[in-house]
């Protein structure tokens, strides 16, 4: 079962907002959020390739 493309896009948007906040606050979660975002981007790319 594949998670929908829109789900990953929404998650990336949310993570982007969190990354901005954590970056400005110099919060330690910044690096974790970046990693999490890249995982969603990988899944998004994989799901796009499956549809093609």
pLDDT digits (tens, 9 = 90+) for 1-49: 456 878 888 888 888 888 787 777 776 677 787 888 888 888 888 877 7
CA distance 22 to 37: 14
CB distance 46 to 6 below 8 Å: no
Give domain limits for the chain.
15-51
| Separation of alpha carbons 36 and 5, rounded Å | 16
For residue 1, the model assigns a pLDDT of 42
Q: Rounded distance, CA 52 to CA 48, Å?
A: 6
Among 44, 47, 49, residue whose Cα is nearest residue 8: 44
Query: What pTM does this model have?
Result: 0.52
Per-residue pLDDT of 38-49, as tens digits, reads 888 888 888 777
């Amino acid at each position: 079962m594949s998670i929908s493309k829109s789900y990953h896009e929404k998650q990336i948007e949310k993570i982007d907002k969190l990354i901005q906040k954590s970056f400005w606050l110099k919060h330690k979660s910044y690096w974790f959020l970046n990693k999490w975002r890249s995982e969603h981007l990988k899944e998004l790319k994989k799901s796009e390739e499956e549809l093609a």
